[in-house]
Amino acid sequence: MVQEEIKKLTEFLHYHAHQYYVLDMPEISDYEYDMALRKLKALEEEYPEFKDPASPTSRVGGQVSEGFESVEHQVPMQSLNDAFSREEVMEFDERVAATLGEPYAYSVEYKIDGLSVSLEYENGVFFRGSTRGDGKTGEDVTQNLKTIHSIPLKLKEAVPYLEVRGEVFISKKDFEALNAQREKDGDPLFANARNAAAGSLRQLDSSIAAKRRLDVFIFNIQRVEGKTFATHHEGLSFLAEMGFKTVPHKGVYSTAEDAFSRVMEIGEERENLSFDIDGAVLKVDNLHQREVLGSTSKCPRWAVAYKFPAETKKTKLVDIVLQVGRTGAITPNAVLEAVQVAGSTVRRATLHNMDYINEKDIMIGDTVYVRKAGDIIPEIVEVAKEERTGAEKQFMMPEFCPECGEKIERVEGEAVYRCTGSNCPAQMQRNLEHFASRDAMDIEGLGPAVVEQLTEAGLIHSAADLYDLTKEQLVGLERFGEKSAENLLSSIEASKERDLARVLFALGIRLNGQRSSMLLAKAFGSMDRLMEQTEDSLKAVHEIGDKTASYVFEYFQNPHNRELIEKLKQAGVNMEHQEVADSTEKLLGKKFVITGKFEGISRNEATELVEKNGGSVAGSVSKKTDYVLAGEDAGSKLDKAQALGVPVLTIDEFLSMLD
């Protein structure tokens, strides 16, 4: 009878999870649910032969993967063409009308700002989930998706095969709570809810994903066996009956005008929704008509995404404070009355430099309009000058550094002011943060809060001191137990093997970025050879500009810098360039510009792929550019490429060049 009890508990928990997470209509308390789950888990551990493959206990996570397997999408997970105006939507409608030549209707839905995934079911049981990737190939993230309570592990009907597409997201409330906890723990904050969802779904340890309170909306049937549907709306209704949490408040409209009116309504609703959207989607509702319209290699011709402009909010500028960067650059930042913008609470915004402040006529006490540039970095768009009272105060750059008291200077021809103090504590803090950052030495666990803790304790004064830290020193600090101390020391030890290019970038030499660090590492092969170079020999390296060469040369002439490098060398940090084993010459001599956002791959990773295969990456488009690799929100670089006739590649077209 144990088998029957396990079955009843499993069904009981599936039912109440659906009531709570999908319908938002709980019928029992959290305590009752937790007690039933605990009882089921105990029975399954004692009688594993009776455990249901779709048991609710699998949602807690805990499986750690070495990596993600690739999944080939049988139905491509295409992206959508974007529209930014009513005119562009009507042009889309004209193309649909011309092709179909018969009445049609549009389904209009929220465009959820999350990460697109595929969910596959066999005989009604969830067996695989994957990311979109490049649209053709994604990553198997089944274990992480199982932790999402709104994904049914077992459908209400044993459909032979079903593949659906949805968007994984984190609600605004849960995102705020997640960032509040990370701030408390001293971890870096997520820039927005979408990044948090994407990062959570790609955790190798599924127990981490389980803690992130991920959610999902299902918006399409990719493939189905044993069922047929005439319309998209009919298919979504079926999915809701099966237990899926489908995209809410969808409607069907018989004209493009009515559909666009609904899009505008969605724009008004955006601020009050519990989740982030970045637009609305119009889809031809009839599935046969979709087949007639067809698709390009990248996008369906039966749908368009209307993208809303960046959300702008009004708030008060309370103060202007200064931040001293690792090169001594002093950046003014606006302190704002807290305001919700694009899914997170904004309390500060960069003001860039004094020219920016003067150009926008920004004063302390102003009412200002704030938005997130690229949905990530808060910035002030303009001042509500009509709301000035006369109590506002002009901001002036001080004469001395607020951190060390040394003189502040503005170099002729530059917009930025700099601290002249060679021992400025703020510069040391930022330098250490940069040294440990992901693109530099990639020392996991050494975030800003830990760097500050170590410097305040007097344990580190330069990057070289990191390699002298001991377990005993760390365990004595707040938030450091034996395990966390061991993890940090292991990460510091692993950083000794980084390539010379990363070491060069980590040093924080002014104007020397990742690209120039790689070029210098390749050109000279070792730190010793690089330090021997003259300014002219540095300039002779292809793509190294005069200013970069000058700053690199000056850096190595400084005795303090040479002493730091010698200490790093003595600590065992690698000072040689290591050629990548699997490099090729498939892109030899080709110049790329990379712009926009990509799913499944970062711009840094795309840059590494170009360079590993013999190509080079530039920051701006010119007639000498061979290809522009363009993702979503590509902007002006894409426009310039099209104007110059430079070939534009999608991410899957780029990856196919490397196959």
Are the C-beta atoms of residues 301 and 293 closer than 8 Å to each other? yes
DSSP label of 20: I
* Backbone φ, ψ for residue 96 (5° rounding): -65, -45
What is the C-alpha end-to-end distance of the chain, expressed in Å? 56
Integer Cα distance of 213 and 203 in angstroms: 14
* Backbone φ, ψ for residue 350 (5° rounding): -70, 145
In 3D space, the residue among 399, 618, 414, 443 whose CA is nearest the CA of residue 513 turns out to be 618
Judging by beta carbons within 10 Å of its beta carbon (0-12, 13-18, 19+), is residue 342 exposed, middle or buried?
buried
In 3D space, the residue among 254, 230, 239, 89 whose CA is nearest the CA of residue 156 turns out to be 239
**Which residues fall within 8 angstroms of residue 257, CB to CB, at 6 or more apart?**
none
Integer Cα distance of 573 and 580 in angstroms: 18
Residue in this structure with the two tokens 């690698």, named with its chain if needed: 574
Integer Cα distance of 66 and 423 in angstroms: 43
Integer Cα distance of 24 and 16 in angstroms: 10
H or E element that contains 642: helix 636-644
Q: Based on DSSP, count helices (H) and strands (E) in the chain, helices before strands.
A: 24, 22
CA dihedral 74, 75, 77, 82 (to 10 degrees): 150
Integer Cα distance of 426 and 448 in angstroms: 12
Integer Cα distance of 127 and 548 in angstroms: 53
Are the C-beta atoms of residues 385 and 361 closer than 8 Å to each other? yes
Query: CA angle, corner 421, sides to 419 and 424, nearest 5?
Result: 95
Catalytic residue IDs: 111
Strand stretches in 132-242, DSSP E: 137-139, 161-169, 215-225
